[in-house]
Amino acid sequence: MKRFCSILIVSLVFLTLPGMIRGYYLSPQLFQKGRLLVKVFDFYADFQMSNSYMNITGLKEQYGISNRINIYAQQPFYVKKQMGTASNAGIGDMRQGVIFNLLNFRRKNNVDLIFSLKLPVGYVAKNDSGISIGSGTYDTYIELLGNYFYKMLELRYYTSFMEKFSKGGNSQESDNFLTVAAHFYGNRLVSMTTFDYDYRFGKNIENLTFSEEILYKFNKKIFAKAGVFLPVIDNNSLKTDYKVLTEFYCFLR
């Protein structure tokens, strides 16, 4: 018990360090009926502009209303943006959705359909610094997530279409990733290598990101994950050097 508590304390300290908010899944299937997950995440993006970064800390909950239907919600409760000598901080935009299991075969292999909505509740009009916290847009997502196991290896794939609604007009984006995961030590340790490609329609803006993540399962209820994301192609107006994401998962039921 003392050993477990020591590991947990070290993990919590590590996860408070600056840390894509992807991660709809832990295991390769939806959670069973009545199971409740609470996740704490910390996301950090270091911008190429001198003394500029973004840090997001928040919560995500996922609940199994049936064995094949889950609901989730995500709340960034603290967002800080630093741009040179100017900064702004506040709550972030909320996101919630429903996850449907379309196919389930050989127990481990699945195809899931996700409908979600992002609300600009964290939008803060630009203050004297000229920096706003939220996007100010209502975003709708249609997402497809699947996986396939072969012995200790797992292939994960994801594609999405997003529509952004704003007073200035609508816009569309697509995000896609392909992950090769390796499961070690009876699935307690998972190593994930991912290529993520996103495209903004109309603007013809594309980005490619390479990431390495490690997931460790302390037991059936407590997990931790950390990853580093490096831009390969970065066509954003504000370019990044790297991004870090840390997550702590706890199943309450």
The pLDDT value recorded for residue 5 is 37
The pLDDT value recorded for residue 196 is 95
In whole numbers, what is the pLDDT of the chain averaged over residues? 85
pLDDT at residue 90 above 90? no
For 187-203, what is each residue's pLDDT tens digit?
899 999 999 999 999 88
Least confident of 16-20, 89-93, 118-122, 143-147: 16-20
Residue 28: pLDDT band (50, 70, 90) is low
pTM of the model: 0.83
DSSP state letters, the chain: -HHHHHHHHHHHHHHTS--------SSSSPPPTT-EEEEEEEEEEEESSTT-EEEEEEEEEEEESSSSEEEEEEEEEEEEEEETTEEEEE---EEEEEEEEEEEETTTEEEEEEEEEEE-TT-----TT---SS---EEEEEEEEEEEEETTEEEEEEEEEEEEE-TT--EEEEEEEEEEEEEETTTTEEEEEEEEEEEETTTTEEEEEEEEEEEEESSSSEEEEEEEEEEEE--SSS-EEEEEEEEEEEE--
For 32-48, what is each residue's pLDDT tens digit?
899 999 999 999 999 99
